[in-house]
Amino acid sequence: MVKIYALAVLYKGINSATLLKAAYNLQSFSIFQRGSVQEFMVFVSKTIVERTQQASRQSVKEGEYMLQVYVRADNLAAVLISDHEYPNRVAHTLITKILDDFTAVVPATQWPTGTEDRIDFHVLPEYLTKYQNPREADALTKIQNDLDETKIILHDTIKAVLERGEKLDDVVAKTESLSMQSKLFYKTARKTNSCCNF
Amino acid sequence: MDDFHNGLVEKIIKELDSALAKSPLTEFDIVPVESTKNKTPVLYVNSSVALESWCVKHVYNYCYGDLIEDFLTHPKRRLSRVSGLTYKRIMLLLNPTLLINPDVTTLWNKRRELMSKRYLDWVAEMTFTRLVLSRKTKCNDAFSYRRFVIEHVMRETPERPPHFVSTILEDEFDVCTMTADKCPNNYHSWDHRRWTLEFASKYRAEIDSTIVFYNEYKFIVNWTARHVSDYSCFHYRQHCLKKLNLLDERWPVFEKMLEADLRENVQKFIEASDPAQKTNKSFKKTIEDEDIIAYLFDYAPNDCSCYTKFYETCRKIEIYIYELIQNTDFLKFYKYHEALWYHRRFIVSEILTTMYDFFEIERVNGKLARKKLTPDQLETLQKCQKCGNRYCEVADKELDWVYNCPLYKILIQHEKAVVADRRKDMDRHAGRHENYLKCVHGLAAHY
């Protein structure tokens, strides 16, 4: 499937990343799981932004999902969660464009302290729908060439992104940003190896 | 299990039963919850039903055990038989068991028995299987039960109201779309869709099957554009292609649906492959099919009365070239997807077959041979002098002669260009495609 599940703009602080704005497409998940899936996507986005260096791009493959992340030199970051058929190059062009738009609308002073409700940036849901078809975004690719300047680092599993000795299970268990329900959901999904990012 | 649990489970399954009676239900799920607080584990939100995971084990063990013990191990015992007295109890136990674990054929067979003894309402059965499939999207037993129910209903209702068949079709297509969307590479779902298509052609007296096939083709073209690595849906696409009614007078409507000018497509294809081959005529709508055939096959069948054959061949070439161009486009855009390459194999092979067919030859054991015609076919051929002549002409020449027709040359030119282009991009499937053409189709000498 060529599909985008989530688009998110984040700020990479000194110790942790904060979510500034996000949009989701969770239609294919059951209504009872959507809440947990969404919580999980936020959690994963944060985790991955925290572990990505400034001014770099990464594509991380995990199961049937792809995570595309771009952290700019000024610490503003964007994450796109899609499936593995969505072309990487197009995804990165798209998140570059989102960050440019975001910078134009939201002043940099708001980034470190902003929260989802206070940030005034409403085009993400529209982008999410429009660029479900990567051909729409392909028109962008032709204009933007700066993509070539930074190399996209490809990872085959999220393990490669975590620090040495760190395990995703532990990260999940430790975090306070996931509810009990979602942690349980993660455990079950892990066991049956389906319908979850990891 | 102790009495306390038994009582609890009885309560839960009764509650689930009343939740299932609500309509319309679309989804069933099991929600992971650990605590056993003193509240009901049956959840009901927006036409979706769910069970909390802690109770699943108890419910399943209890229901399955009871079913097997009371109704399945002693089929001869009077109380185990399906009757007006027992069927309610059986259903009460069957529903939760199948929702939790639908991969037990024995239980589905029990349902079949109930269905054929007319204890069940088929509409409710369709809703129930949809619920099962919303959670287990690859459950073949559920799909096959749906087929059983539909066949049963068709037998039972010989006099059907006007929209009866089309409603069934819509419902089946809808279920297939839902299951295919939830789970990639869902073979069972596409298989069921294929069955539905066959069902549509079986009852073509009651529906407009031509339009159904056109719609399905349109649907699958859009779908494959967004599922480029799912070969199951490409297989269905091939099935749809073969089902297209090429001779229907509503073909222009179909072209409009595709938003493509197929004729112009062919012309562009010829010009792009080999500028030297540039046609001096343009293939506008006004040009007769015969002229196109004459150009592509290098054979001028003027004043031939076998119009249908030209018409059909022409439509085939048009649609397959449309497929080929789209496939090339996808290969370049999405890159490295094996499913796309396999679909390409199908297209190329169909174009070649069309070509062979036109010249009344076929490939047997890797060699070209004249088609063995039945006396009837031979007679029809000879009725038309031109066709008869062509058949004889082909027979007189070396069979390899077909590889000199412009269509073949253009096709190979195009394949070479695509393979070379993909090779540059390090696509390892490109070389395999070339080998496929050379070895499987025996084109090495003419490549």
Could you tell me which residues come within 8 angstroms of residue B82 by beta carbon, excluding any fewer than 6 positions away? B71, B90, B110, B113, B114, B117, B119
Query: Rounded CA gap, B231 and B346, in Å?
Result: 12
Instruction: Provide the pLDDT confidence category of residue A45 given band limits of 50, 70 and 90.
Output: very high
* Percentage of chain A modeled with pLDDT above 70: 88
Cβ atoms of B31 and B43 closer than 8 Å: yes
Number of domains in chain A: 1
A191 vs A104, more confident: A104
Instruction: Compute the average pLDDT of residues B66-94.
Output: 82
Beta bridge partners of B321: none
| pLDDT over threshold 80, residue B301 | no
Q: How many CB atoms lie within 10 A of CB B67?
A: 21
Please report whether residue A197 resides in a domain: no
Smallest CA–CA separation between B48 and chain A, in Å?
A: 7
Instruction: Provide the pLDDT confidence category of residue B124 given band limits of 50, 70 and 90.
Output: very high
| pLDDT over threshold 50, residue A195 | no
Give the 3-state secondary structure of residue A18.
strand
Instruction: Compute the average pLDDT of residues A54-78.
Output: 89
The 8 Å CB, 24+ separation contacts for B251-254 are B251/B315, B253/B214, B254/B214, B254/B217
Highest mean pLDDT (candidates B236-240, B292-296, B384-388, B436-440): B236-240
Q: How many CB atoms lie within 10 A of CB B249?
A: 8
Smallest CA–CA separation between B94 and chain A, in Å?
A: 23
Dihedrals φ, ψ of B38, to 5°? -80, 60
| pLDDT over threshold 50, residue A198 | no
Smallest CA–CA separation between A32 and chain B, in Å?
A: 7
Please report whether residue A100 resides in a domain: yes
- Count of residues for chain B? 447
Q: Which residue has the tokens 């002549």?
A: B389
Chain A residues lying within 8 Å of B184, measured CB to CB: 1, 64, 83
Edge-to-edge order in the sheet of strand A152-155? A17-24, A4-12, A76-83, A65-71, A56-62, A152-155
ipTM of this complex: 0.82
Please report whether residue A180 resides in a domain: yes
Query: Rounded CA gap, B428 and B151, in Å?
Result: 46
Instruction: Compute the average pLDDT of residues B134-145.
Output: 94
- The two tokens of residue B31 are 């929600």
B241 vs B284, more confident: B241
Query: Rounded CA gap, B165 and B154, in Å?
Result: 9
Helix (H) or strand (E) holding A154: strand A152-155
| Interface-testing mutation among A26, A29, A32, with chain B (most B C-beta atoms within 10 A) | A32
Query: Rounded CA gap, B257 and B221, in Å?
Result: 11
Strand pairing category for A152-155 and A56-62 = parallel
Q: Which residue has the tokens 């993509």?
A: A147
Query: Rounded CA gap, A112 and A108, in Å?
Result: 8
Q: Which range, of A18-32, A131-145, A152-166, averages the lowest pLDDT? A: A131-145
Beta bridge partners of B27: B48
Q: Do B334 and A135 touch (CB under 8 A)?
A: no
Q: How many CB atoms lie within 10 A of CB B127?
A: 16
Smallest CA–CA separation between B195 and chain A, in Å?
A: 23
Chain B residues lying within 8 Å of A132, measured CB to CB: 226
Name the residue range of residue A149's domain.
4-192
* Rounded to 5°, angle at Cα B57 from B51 and B59: 65
Q: Is the minimum CB–CB distance between B31 and chain A shorter than 8 Å? A: yes
| pLDDT over threshold 50, residue A196 | no
Chain B residues lying within 8 Å of A31, measured CB to CB: 27, 29, 45-46, 48
- Say which amino acid occupies B346: F
Chain B residues lying within 8 Å of A28, measured CB to CB: 181-182
Q: Which of B169, B167, B29 is nearest to A28 (CA)?
A: B29
Could you tell me which residues come within 8 angstroms of residue B347 by beta carbon, excluding any fewer than 6 positions away? B320, B323, B324, B327
Query: Rounded CA gap, A39 and B235, in Å?
Result: 37
Query: Rounded CA gap, B411 and B399, in Å?
Result: 18
| pLDDT over threshold 60, residue B172 | yes
Highest mean pLDDT (candidates A57-61, B4-8, B280-284): A57-61
Instruction: Compute the average pLDDT of residues B50-79.
Output: 86
CATH number, domain with residue A39: 3.30.450.50
Instruction: Compute the average pLDDT of residues B289-318.
Output: 75
Strand pairing category for A17-24 and A4-12 = antiparallel
Closest Cα in chain B to A138: B333
Write down the pLDDT at residue A147: 56
Please report whether residue A198 resides in a domain: no
Please report whether residue A107 resides in a domain: yes
Q: Which of B109, B135, B326 is nearest to A31 (CA)?
A: B135
Write down the pLDDT at residue A103: 92
Write down the pLDDT at residue A197: 37
- The two tokens of residue A6 are 């989530």
| Interface-testing mutation among A31, A33, A136, A154, with chain B (most B C-beta atoms within 10 A) | A31
